[in-house]
Amino acid sequence: MATSPWPRALVPFRSDQYRLLAGSFVLSLVGSGIWTVTVAWRLLDLGHGPAGLAMVASTTTAALVVTALAGGVLADRLSRRNLIARIGAVKAASVATVVAADVTGEPGLPQLIVVAAVLGGADGIFFPAYSASVPSVIPEAELLAVNSIESLLRPVMLQAAGPLVASALIGLASPVVAWAGTAVAFAGSAACAAGMRRDPARVNPPGGGLALRQSVTDLRSAVVYVATTRWLVATLVFAVAVVLAYAGPIQVLLPAVVRDHAHGGPEDLALVTAGYGAGAIGGSLVMASTLMPRRYLTAMLLMWGVACVPLAVMGLSDHVWLMALALSICGALVACAGALWGTLLQRRVPHEMLGRVSSLDFFVSLSAAPVSAALVVPAAEAWGIPAVYLVAGIAPLTVAVLALTLGGLRRDELAHPLR
């Protein structure tokens, strides 16, 4: 049997269609990363301070949540290629208005809030359409590599490459040039999608239109499908438990833990946070080079559950290096489990429903994170930070074992082999 000269992780890039789709994805992430840093810097320059930053950031997140479900419906009823291209064009045009405002004067806070809403809402449509497009251009055997690389690209492009480009453009030129760079990245994302020859296209029959009643019917059918599919219900319930357990402790409590327990400064917080990112990159690279596990549901849930166990260290340790190590293990296993989950959706959910199911997953994950952030502070005040991190470390693994045993997932994965 002939072997490919390409490493397994890079095999999907042999397809010109996937290269264009991945290019659209990467440029969209880079544009969002440039926007995040530039809008924060400009708001501070204009004197709006943390309150202005909070308003823009919360608007982006709220718009993302609001449009996520609609994005899934659109992805299953329209040409996904055209949808991705048009979303990129809308994002580029919205940022172009900020460029014009900054050239002629200065952008006001209301304008930046409106543009943030457009960008967040557009991403709520973009990501389900992108996820549903991947199986149309990539063979099933390569989906795990694709989702692993996606897990790597998200933090690298959104939290590293984009902010670095923004910092360089602001430092070497001005915020106006950084705004322009954002618009160019989004326009490039649109151009890549528009350049795809084979459309990851409409899979629902035309003629139903996009009337509100039909859209609600489409969404309801997806909810019914999820609710009656045992492995999906068990996994989504488990995912909610995981996000509730670890999102708040990592996003909200971590700075206080580094400062008060480890007596560290900003550089120590950056080191601990980088540990999570480094682990995620390493886990993604390993997963991109492996085959789908035979017991994929067991592997996925146990990876997520075990990933949270090191969090128990966070509330007890006063060593920065140990915290960084704990989060690197967490990041690696979360990335591996996330790659399995994305592949599982793309291989077992009917293609004509993939956009809607992806958006439901997206919506559930987005909704659980702010709930965790809201609950973690009163929980820490009531029980103490060590107790919160102990629960965050133990609860997900316990729920994983319950989901595997009570949800019948071990039987399900053997009845539906993916390798």
Q: pLDDT digit string (tens) for 388-412?
A: 999 999 999 999 999 998 888 999 9
The span from the CA of 298 to the CA of 283, in Å, is 17
Quick one: pLDDT at residue 190? 98
The number of distinct structural domains making up the chain is 2
Q: Is the pLDDT of residue 413 over 70?
A: yes
Q: Is the pLDDT of residue 379 over 60?
A: yes
Of 200, 230, 256, the one marking the end of a domain is 200
Residue 209 lies in a domain: no
Structure-block tokens of residue 41: 């810097």
The domain of 340 spans 221-415
pTM of the model: 0.86
161 close to 48: Cβ distance less than 8 angstroms:
no
Residue 1's SS3 state is coil
The span from the CA of 40 to the CA of 19, in Å, is 32
Q: Per residue in 114-161, pLDDT tens?
A: 999 999 999 999 999 999 999 999 999 999 999 999 988 888 888 788
Residue with tokens 């488990």: 238
Residue 205 lies in a domain: no
CATH number where 407 lies: 1.20.1250.20
Highest-scoring range by mean pLDDT, 22-31, 252-261, 311-320: 22-31
Quick one: pLDDT at residue 4? 58
Q: Per residue in 345-375, pLDDT tens?
A: 999 999 889 999 999 998 888 888 888 888 8
Q: Per residue in 195-247, pLDDT tens?
A: 998 664 454 544 445 567 788 888 999 999 999 999 999 999 898 888 888 88
Specify whether 255 is located in the same domain as 312: yes
Q: Which residues contact 203 (CB under 8 A, 6 or more apart)?
A: 76, 351, 352
Average pLDDT over residues 26-55: 88
- Cβ neighbours around 220 below 10 Å, total: 11
Name the least confident of 13-17, 18-22, 202-206: 202-206
Specify whether 182 is located in the same domain as 237: no
Residue 213 lies in a domain: no
Q: Is the pLDDT of residue 261 over 50?
A: yes
Better-predicted residue by pLDDT, 114 or 40: 114
Of 200, 230, 249, the one marking the end of a domain is 200
DSSP run (H or E) holding 318 = none
Q: What percent of the chain has pLDDT over 70?
A: 95
Confidence of residue 48 (pLDDT cuts 50, 70, 90): confident
Per DSSP (E only), the strands in 95-157 are none
The span from the CA of 33 to the CA of 250, in Å, is 20
Dihedrals phi, psi of 92, to nearest 5 degrees: -65, -45
Q: What's the chain's average pLDDT?
A: 89
DSSP string, 260-281: IIS---HHHHHHHHHHHHHHHH
Quick one: pLDDT at residue 115? 97
Specify whether 298 is located in the same domain as 352: yes
Residue 316 lies in a domain: yes
Helix axes 320-348, 143-156, angle to 10 degrees: 140
Q: Per residue in 289-344, pLDDT tens?
A: 888 999 999 999 999 999 999 999 888 888 899 999 999 999 999 999 999 999 99
Specify whether 160 is located in the same domain as 305: no
- Cβ neighbours around 123 below 10 Å, total: 23
163 close to 170: Cβ distance less than 8 angstroms:
no
- Cβ neighbours around 417 below 10 Å, total: 10
Q: Which amino acid is at 8?
A: R
Specify whether 149 is located in the same domain as 290: no
Quick one: pLDDT at residue 208? 47
Residue 212 lies in a domain: no
Average pLDDT over residues 1-18: 76
Specify whether 283 is located in the same domain as 165: no
Q: Which amino acid is at 266?
A: P
Residue 3 lies in a domain: no
> For residue 307, what are the CA distances in angstroms to 99, 166, 276, 337?
43, 32, 11, 9
Residue 54 lies in a domain: yes
Return the closest-CA partner of residue 291 out of 4, 13, 10, 9.
Answer: 9
Specify whether 238 is located in the same domain as 326: yes
Return the closest-CA partner of residue 134 out of 77, 204, 193, 200.
Answer: 200
Residue 214 lies in a domain: no
Specify whether 117 is located in the same domain as 266: no
Specify whether 232 is located in the same domain as 160: no
* Chain centre to alpha carbon of residue 59: 17
Specify whether 31 is located in the same domain as 139: yes
Specify whether 145 is located in the same domain as 40: yes
Residue with tokens 């994302």: 189
Specify whether 35 is located in the same domain as 89: yes
Q: Per residue in 311-326, pLDDT tens?
A: 998 888 888 999 999 9
